Chains A and B, each alone.
Chain A
Amino acid sequence: MNRKVYGKLIFELSREGRRGYATPKSGISPEDVSIKQTPIPSSMTRKSSLSLPEVDEPTVVRHYNNMSTNNFGVDTGFYPLGSCTMKYNPKINEEMASHRLFAGLHPSTPAFAAQGALELYWTLQKALCEIGGMEEFTLNPFAGAQGELTGLMVIRTYHASRGEGEKRRKVIIPDSAHGTNPASAAVCGLEVVEVKSRPDGTVDVADLKPLLDDTVAAMMLTNPNTLGIFEKEIPAISALVHEAGGLMYYDGANLNPLLGVARPGDMGFDVMHVNLHKTFSTPHGGGGPGSGPVGVRKGLEKFLPNPKVVRRTVTPDGFPVNETNRYAVEYSPVALGSVSATLGNFAVQARALAYILTLGSDGLMEAGKLATLNATYIKESLKDLYLLPIEGLSKHEFVFDGLRDKSTGVTTLNIAKRLLDHGYHAPTIYFPLLFHESLMIEPTETESRETLDEFIAAMREIAREAIEDPETVKTAPHLTPVTRPDDTTAALNPVLTFDNLEP
């Protein structure tokens, strides 16, 4: 990472009238353009000139090249951001997704000319069914959170189909859940009810029981939970929720350690989503876009959103299928409706399928176990210096509650900032909310023993420094181009565009 230069904004480099290229004058006069027949209403035309930066080509090239070196990603270094599964994104995924026959495909291409793409969709859908223990998946949602919303819409549509749509509005969510769970339930028009965790971080069945009645629509669970602990009582929890007539929703955020070992469908979950950008190695966030496929058990598949991809053996007219009509796009009248105009983020689906086929079932089974081994290795190597609030077996991630020795006043925030000086992305901090100084580490399976050892050494060094030279830790980072941005002022007075900058 570029540790020194923090360049100007492209707008600050702008000089009036400067050009990199000049295009030839258009030979078409405005009168020739058909738009004159339906003129744009004057209320919708721009009154001021377009505010674009005016820069020469070398300035543009240097600006973006320098900026790209300020970026930190899995391609530049270790990124143990808990709950985000920042595994390496294999380059073969990119190669497959950018193949010209995929990359050039228009979303409105008729099915007969897009059989290969539809086969890809269908094959990935089936692979996810096998991994999740589900009957059918939709790949249409554009992100994990949209997947959650889609899954809850399936549940809402299911209850409505049984005449219980008005009655069943309660969604039970543990206090350790990701914030998206209650947010998705609220956006879906459902009512959120919190269930407490036991001291070991798992769901308190005694606290759950009184919440269950005929108003329950669903229970949302992440398993292993956000503390990396496997819910051992999951069969009992599923049975209780089902007895009350509710459905079980599996948040796939933490699917990685279960790959090929355990399946949400076998645990009693009815609906689940997965994050292709976590478990299946497609890019995250700004490097995305994401994808949040939703799977359902048998009996619920008819409610999945339109459009759907089907594989046929005979055509609707009764003829045997051939290479131009084996796969078709269908719209079902009983579906919950649509959550997307198209079949989702196709290039992301292509990357995920490339990952699954590259690893194969044996490789996928290994991935989850190695993720758990790596996390456990870090946990055991640091728990003498960092406070481990929950002992016992954890899976692909774990949570420290800050340093053991809190007398120095060095907080989790300070540790996270100091890690930047060591060249690491910080772990997730202050989540989950069950502890005051949460420091959540998820190394993923893609890291080598050497990387893990170096990270452990850095964490031990910071713990030592917290005692010998706490000021250095409290004022970190010292080696980044920007240090300690004022996040409170940023939240209160956000400067979001160039126009908001003080002159």
Chain B
Amino acid sequence: MILYSKTHEYIRVEGEKGYIGISDYAQKQLGNVVYVDMPDLGDELEKGEDFGAIESVKAASDLISPVSGEVVEVNDALSENPRLINADAMANWIIAVTINDPSELEDLMDQAAYDAFIAG
């Protein structure tokens, strides 16, 4: 299940774990990504707060966590090659977190709702 936030992060829910990245739409709007600032393993994230930043040739944007939880994986490949996000934003997640409170997923959008959101 993939859900989206209004700030264009996605979370791919796999059991109690969620893989967080930025949407393909966000990737296109940002243009070529040159740097991804990621949290450390074990960091505790709060829903709605920033957990890092992404920098492109156009702009730098905060990364906002769609859920609260602990960082259990960090996609190290992105520090070597941040352009992977442009190549495939959905496959190249940024971090994985534990989902502490599944009810936090309720206000996120599914694919259809997100498509409508970016079109509107």
Residues of chain A having any CB pair with chain B under 8 Å: 430, 433, 436, 487-488, 491-492
Q: Contact at A488–B57, with CB atoms within 8 Å?
A: yes
Q: Top 3 A-B pairs ranked by shortest CB distance?
A: A488-B32, A491-B34, A430-B58
A-B contact count (CB 8 A): 16
A436, B82: Cα distance in complex, Å = 21
Which B residues between 84 and 100 are near A, CB-CB below 8 angstroms? none
Q: What 0/1 readout, one digit per residue, does chain B (16-38) give for beta carbons within 8 Å of chain A? A: 00000000000001001011000
Closest A residue to B55 by CB, please name it: A491
Q: Contact at B58–A488, with CB atoms within 8 Å?
A: no
A364, B77: Cα distance in complex, Å = 56
Residues of chain B having any CB pair with chain A under 8 Å: 29, 32, 34-35, 57-59, 82-83
Question: Is the contact region of chain B dominated by helix, strand, or loop, or is it mixed?
Answer: loop
User: Cβ of B82: which chain A residues have Cβ within 8 Å of it?
Assistant: 492
Q: Contact at A430–B59, with CB atoms within 8 Å?
A: yes
Provide 12 A-B residue pairs closer than 8 Å at the C-beta atoms, listed in order of the A residue. Answer: A430-B59, A433-B59, A487-B32, A487-B57, A488-B32, A488-B34, A488-B57, A488-B83, A491-B34, A492-B34, A492-B82, A492-B83
Q: Contact at A436–B59, with CB atoms within 8 Å?
A: no
Distance between A293 CB and nearest chain B CB, rounded to angstroms: 29
Distance between B112 CB and nearest chain A CB, rounded to angstroms: 22
User: Cβ of B59: which chain A residues have Cβ within 8 Å of it?
Assistant: 430, 433
A487, B29: Cα distance in complex, Å = 16
Distance between A429 CB and nearest chain B CB, rounded to angstroms: 8
Distance between B63 CB and nearest chain A CB, rounded to angstroms: 15
Q: Contact at B57–A491, with CB atoms within 8 Å?
A: yes
Closest A residue to B34 by CB, please name it: A491
Closest B residue to A488 by CB, please name it: B32
Closest A residue to B86 by CB, please name it: A488
User: Cβ of B29: which chain A residues have Cβ within 8 Å of it?
Assistant: 436
Q: Which of B32, B34, B58 counts the most chain A CB atoms within 10 A?
A: B58
**13 further A-B pairs in the complex, CB-CB below 8 A; given A430-B58, A430-B59:** A433-B59, A436-B29, A487-B32, A487-B57, A488-B32, A488-B34, A488-B57, A491-B34, A491-B35, A491-B57, A492-B34, A492-B82, A492-B83
